[in-house]
Amino acid sequence: MEKVIESFRTSFEALYLDIIDLMPNLLVSLFVLVVGIVIIRSLKSVVVNRLVSRSKDPVGARFLADILIFIFFIILVFIIFRTLGLSALTQTIIGAAGITTFIIGFALKDIGENFLAGIVMIFDRPFEMGDLIEIEGRIGRVIRISIRETTIKTVDGKDVYIPNSDIIKKHFINYTIDDQLRESFDISISNSNDIRQVIEIIYEVVAAVPHLLKTQKPTVTIKNFEGGTVQLSITYWYSLLGAQRRNALLKNEVMLAVIEKMKEDSIGFPNDVQDINIFKKD
């Protein structure tokens, strides 16, 4: 037992002496780390502002700025290694595995995967800044694209951070790639009406609603008929017009215009029929 305690004491003393010997380098390295982070953060704002202001492609410019800042951080790590007296280790890492392998290993697998996915997105461009997209049920405007993640602002004002690898791997919907969206709703009328005339009336009403796309004509089709009623399906196209959410108010406007015109022309609606079963109790 005494030998174990003595061995532990000797190891602890050796470790303590090593830390004392390394303390000056540790303090210098800590100072270099703090100063380096402050400088890199200051450079980041300058680089981003200059690249974005001078570039015709703000997304690509911001992505390039993120890559430059990432490289600055790697250089800072190498400087700290040298300050700690680990320059030989740094050369061994670079010579054995290569700088690219070291960066990806340093950034961990997920960060490296998101980084590569971000590069693919910059060249492929599945969406642009301000586009309305949906991924896994989350709908929002793209407000930022970085080397690791894409940020969207949802219709209820929340910022959602989506890893770039998820966007590459999973299905997503871009509602504004051509800024043409289709909406539809159904309405039931009595079959005692002149159905052809009703269809023509609804078509004219919907076509006259402001803010609808004139390049895509609305449609009014018979969806179903049974029990003395005819169900019509009305479809129209619209643009988001720069709105921050899908325009539900526009649908209200279209539906109100249709129902008001139908009431004005005394178009009959089906009565609410309920089946009542009467059982005789013995």
Report pLDDT digits (tens) over 174-200: 877 777 788 899 999 888 888 999 999
Other CB atoms within a 10 A radius of the CB of residue 236 amount to: 23
The pLDDT value recorded for residue 203 is 93
Could you tell me the residue ranges of all domains in the chain?
Answer: 2-97, 132-174, 181-264
At 80 the pLDDT is 77
Radius of gyration of the chain (CA): 33
The residue type of 39 is: I
**pTM strictly above 0.75:** no
Taking CA 119 as the corner, what is the angle to CA 146 and CA 130, rounded to the nearest 5 degrees? 45
Q: What is the pLDDT of residue 120?
A: 77
Strand partners, 185: 234
Task: Print the SS3 string covering 222-272.
Answer: EEEEECCEEEEEEEEEECCCCCCCCCHHHHHHHHHHHHHHHHHCCCCCCCC
**110-124, 159-173, 245-259: which has the minimum mean pLDDT?**
110-124
At residue 206, the pLDDT reads 93
Mean local confidence (pLDDT), 89-96: 50
Question: Which residues lie across from 183 on neighbouring strands?
Answer: 236
Nearest to 40 by CA among 10, 92, 76: 76
Q: State the Cα torsion 78-75-108-161 to the nearest 10°.
A: 150
Q: Does domain 132-174 have CATH number 3.40.50.300?
A: no
What mean pLDDT is predicted for residues 70-82? Answer: 79
Query: 25: helix, coil or strand?
Result: helix
**Average confidence (pLDDT) over 151-173:** 84
> Comparing 111-115, 154-158, 258-262, which segment has the lowest mean pLDDT?
111-115
Provide the pLDDT for residue 245: 44
Identify the CATH number of the domain defined by range 181-264.
3.30.70.100
Residue corresponding to tokens 């950034």: 107
- Is pLDDT at 22 greater than 80 in this prediction? no
pLDDT over threshold 80, residue 24: no
